Structure 1
Amino acid sequence: MSDDHTHVQDFFGARAADWDSRFPDDGPAYAAAVTDMGLHEGDRVLDAGCGTGRALTPLRAAVGRSGVVVGADLTPAMLQAAVGAGRDRDGQLLLADVAALPLRSQSLDAVFAAGLIAHLPQPTENLRELARVVRPGGALELFHPIGRAALAARQGRRITPDDLRAEANLGPLLAGSGWRMTSYVDEDARFLALAVRDG
């Protein structure tokens, strides 16, 4: 396992047990973000870096019982917390690295990714892997329940020009990874970028 993976697992593993209690008010933001994806009954969707699975329930509601919901995360403790919260009833949980997904090419209609992009060790390659598993015309949503400026202030840091989530950086990054960004919102209450899988 790479040092990047070990760091991510250590960071999230140490925080998994109380993650949901630290951010108790995020549920409606996740539900609204899922609504913005425009999923349909029967769609197949991946929650990439699903953590404790807060998006799984709204994703299941969006795709219905005929749809497929998969949650993939690198950190066992996060998936255990998802099971503890009963969210494994809404989606299949996979202990997997988003850099090498055990999924067939073009097998999904959409990918939801909350707070993921800042933790990708190789953003271009990793976003390309997400593109691999999505059909042409499928969707990617990059989401965070707090905007970039508000998150930086919470963490006691400043936004730097090389922030991957800046619109000027994210658009070209997605374009070089098989995606075309279609909308971008960065407000205090949320960060949300939508992209379509190029054909």
Structure 2
Amino acid sequence: MSGDHAHVQEFFTARAAGWDARFPDDGPAYAAAVEAIGLRSGDAVLDAGCGTGRALPALRTAVGPDGMVLGVDLTPAMLESAVRAGRDRSGLLLLADVARLPLRSGALDAVFAAGLISHLAHPGPDLAELARVVRPGGQLALFHPVGRAALAARHGRPLTEDDLRAEANLRPMLARSGWRLDAYTDVDDRFLALATHTA
């Protein structure tokens, strides 16, 4: 395991048990973000870096009983918390690295990723791996239940121009990784970037 991965696992392992209790009111924001993807009944969707699986019920609702919902996370403790919360009933949980997904190319219709991008060791290549597993024309949603400025304030740090999620940085990085940024929202109570896989 790389040092980057060990750091991410250590960070989330320490916080897994109390994660949902820290953010009890985020459910509607997750549901609204999932709705924005435009998933259809029968679609196959991945929650990349699913954590405790807060998006899985909304993803299951969106794709219906015939759809496929996968949740992938690097940290066993987060997946264990998802199971304790019963969210494994909404999708299949996999312990895996989003940089090396155990999925065939073009297998999915969409990827949902909440809070993922700031934890990627190699954002460009990792976003390209997400593109690999999505069919041409499929969707990517990069989400956070608070915007960049509000998140920076919460952590007591300034908002900087080198933030990967700033539109000026995110748009070209997505383009190099096989994605076209279609919509970008960054307000106090929501960050949501929607992109399409360009073949």
Where on the TM-score scale, by shorter chain, does this alignment land: which range? over 0.9
Q: What is the match of residue 56 of structure 2?
A: 56
Matched with 1:85 is: 85
Amino acid at match of 1:198: T
Identity rate, percent: 72
Instruction: Find the residue that maps to 1:194 and give its secondary structure.
Output: strand
Deviations 1:87-123 (A, max 9, x none): 0000000000000000010000000000000000101
> In structure 1, what is the Cα distance between the partners aligned to 2:91 and 2:14?
24
Match of 1:18 in 2: 18
Counterpart amino acid of residue 102 in structure 1:
P
CA deviation after TM superposition for structure 1 residue 159, in Å: 1.1
Match of 2:164 in 1: 164
Q: Which residue type is aligned with residue 79 of structure 1?
A: L
Distance 1:140 1:191 in 2: 13
Q: Equivalent residue for 2:72?
A: 72
CA separation in 2, counterparts of 1:141 and 1:74? 19
Match for residue 141 of structure 2? 141
Q: What is the aligned partner in structure 2 of residue 111 from structure 1?
A: 111
Normalising by the residue count of structure 2, what TM-score does the alignment of the two structures yield?
Answer: 1.00
User: What is the correspondence of 1:177-196 to structure 2 with a 5 Å cutoff?
Assistant: 177-196=177-196
Q: How many angstroms apart in 1 are the aligned matches of 2:158 and 2:78?
A: 28
Partner of 1:46: 46
Partners of 1:32 and 1:166 lie apart in 2 by 21
Partners of 1:58 and 1:139 in 2: CA distance:
16
- Residue ranges of structure 1 left out of the alignment (5+ in a row): none
Q: Specify the code of the residue in structure 2 equivalent to 1:51.
A: G
User: How far does the alpha carbon of each residue in 1:122-171 deviate from its partner, in whole angstroms, 9 at most, with x for none?
Assistant: 01100000000000000000000000000000000011111000000000
Q: Which residue of 2 aligns with 1:122?
A: 122
Unaligned runs of 5+ in 2: none
Task: Name the SS of the counterpart of 2:25 in structure 1.
Answer: coil
Tell me the distance in 2 between the aligned counterparts of 1:99 and 1:108.
16
Describe the SS at the equivalent of 2:153.
Answer: helix
**Displacement after TM superposition at 1:58 (Å):** 0.2
Deviation beyond 2 Å, 4+ runs, structure 1 = none
Between the aligned partners of 1:143 and 1:161, the Cα distance in structure 2 is 19
What TM-score, normalized by structure 1, do the two folds share? 1.00
The alignment partner of 1:151 has SS state of helix
Letter in 2 for 1:69: V
